[in-house]
Amino acid sequence: MKYPGCTGTDPVPLSRRELLMRSGGLGGVALSWLLAQDRPAAAAASERTGALLSPHFPARAKYVIQIFLCGGVSHVDTFDYKPELIRSHGKPLTGKGPVDTFFAQPGNLMKSPWEFRRRGESGLWVSDLLPHLGKCADLLTVVRSMVSKSNNHTPATFMMNSGFTMNGFPSMGSWVSYGLGTDNRDLPTFVVLPDPRQLPAGGAINWTAGFLPAAHQGVTFRSKGDPILDLFPAGKTVEHTERASRELLAQIDREFTQRSGDDSVLSARLRSYELAARMQTSVPDAVNLERESPATRELYGLNGTVTAGFGRNCLLARRLVERGVRFVQLFHGGAFGSPRINWDAHEDLQANHSQEAASMDRPVAALLQDLKQRGMLDEGLVLWTTEFGRTPFTQGLNKPGRDHHQHAFTCWMAGAGLRPGIAFGESDEVGYAVGRDPVTTYDLHATVLHLLGLDHKRLTYYHNGIQRRLTDVHGHLVEGLLA
């Protein structure tokens, strides 16, 4: 069969492999192999695919930037001021029943190494560990009564990102992609920006689409070098050859569809390849930070050795949502082990948190300020999350570190539809347990979806006999956070 565009005048005949690889870089994979691999799953697939593409009710926000701090940020050293820790410094914790710790090494209560101050017109308490975020206090909606189901890093991270302590469930970004789609057909709906220093533990499992269609998987942009590997062909291409190759693949796709019928799994794959082709022109523009003014680059700390890496990610996040990307997830902190590149402050809290805050504080504050001055914070959400907090006492006697703690910790939000400059809920006098208005991960997710115009009970996907949802069978809207 003669396919359109094949003139026979190309300088070098193309092999089958070259044809596929030249036809779109990332999208130019071996289509026949994909069909062979996907046919069993496609034949068994019966659930609806694709995005809902419209909210359940009018939305207050149209995008989300989620900043996830790996390792467990200490709430009592950042946003949850506890004068009782100063008064009881060096004493054992009493009156709380059996003390629950991850490593079973409870020490004595330890005051924060940093001073707390009231910040902004709101008077929100923020420690000196985060001076730049302290200046943004009036933009923050702080939740001081978060609780988790696990004090183990990996299950707790899955919990915060997907609503389940087990891996393989769709992440929040995938659910938002499924529910709303994108405002820019030339960029992914859900983009992930890992810490430039290291990938988080588990890598891509943290932003998986799980049982949702593959099109809703998070797309990773690299912080160094090419933002996406294999986006462009390895060698130069002749324009009419590449055009003919695309036309050939499109015709093969149409013929296969005519023979086999509508296949939702294959359709999702083909859409991702079409997106990859469009990204060849959209991505270089989106990631070109040189187009930003010197003042903006300075604001994000791109000229600083410590802040440059995460600063680039924060600035890139703004550029992506500005171009219609629905959900951007930034990871601050990497996998566990030595050297420690995360917030897991077992041995020395002051040294660890000082190191991590130095690269995070200024860029995140710059992101908030930049979004605010552009009028973009009123139409989107910024989330600052971590998997759990840290114990108000030391890990071991006479030691300067804190252990994992899921019974009380802090996250914050900023943006559309929220009450700014407030602290919701509270932990007890030393930050060990929630004292008022506990907020689960389910509740946080339900509230985020609500602000996007999505009812967490109605955003479902039928899988394996169950109507699955981000919030499982739990969760309620935290109305106290809403304006």
Question: Is the pTM for the entire model greater than 0.95?
Answer: no
Q: Of 151, 156, 161, 164, whose CA–CA distance to 206 is shortest?
A: 161
How crowded is residue 145: how many other Cβ atoms within 10 Å of its Cβ?
A: 26
Query: What is the structure's pLDDT at 46?
Result: 30
Query: What is the structure's pLDDT at 428?
Result: 98
**CA-to-CA dists, residue 296 to 144, 302, 311, angstroms:** 32, 9, 11
Q: Of 322, 298, 441, whose CA–CA distance to 380 is shortest?
A: 322
Quote the Cα angle for 180-185-186, to 5°: 135
Query: What is the structure's pLDDT at 40?
Result: 37
Taking the CA atoms of 375, 381, 387 and 390 in sequence, report the sign of the dihedral they define.
Answer: positive
How far is residue 278's CA from residue 186's CA, in Å, rounded to a whole number?
Answer: 5
pLDDT in tens, the chain (483 residues): 444 444 444 444 555 444 444 444 444 333 333 333 343 333 333 333 456 667 999 999 999 999 999 999 999 999 999 999 999 999 999 999 999 999 999 999 999 999 999 999 999 999 999 999 999 999 999 999 999 999 999 999 999 999 999 999 999 999 999 999 888 878 999 999 999 999 999 899 999 999 998 889 999 997 666 666 555 565 676 777 877 877 887 788 778 777 877 665 666 666 666 666 666 666 777 888 999 999 999 999 999 999 999 999 999 999 999 999 999 999 999 998 767 899 999 999 999 999 999 999 999 999 999 999 999 999 999 999 999 999 999 999 999 999 999 999 999 999 999 999 999 999 999 999 999 999 999 999 999 999 999 999 999 999 999 999 999 999 999 999 999
Crossing angle between the packed helical segments 264-286 and 239-260, to the nearest 10 degrees: 160
Name the helix (H) or strand (E) containing 365: helix 349-373
Q: Both tokens of residue 165?
A: 């302590």
Taking the CA atoms of 99, 101, 105 and 107 in sequence, report the sign of the dihedral they define.
Answer: negative
Instruction: Assign 100 to helix, strand or coil.
Output: coil
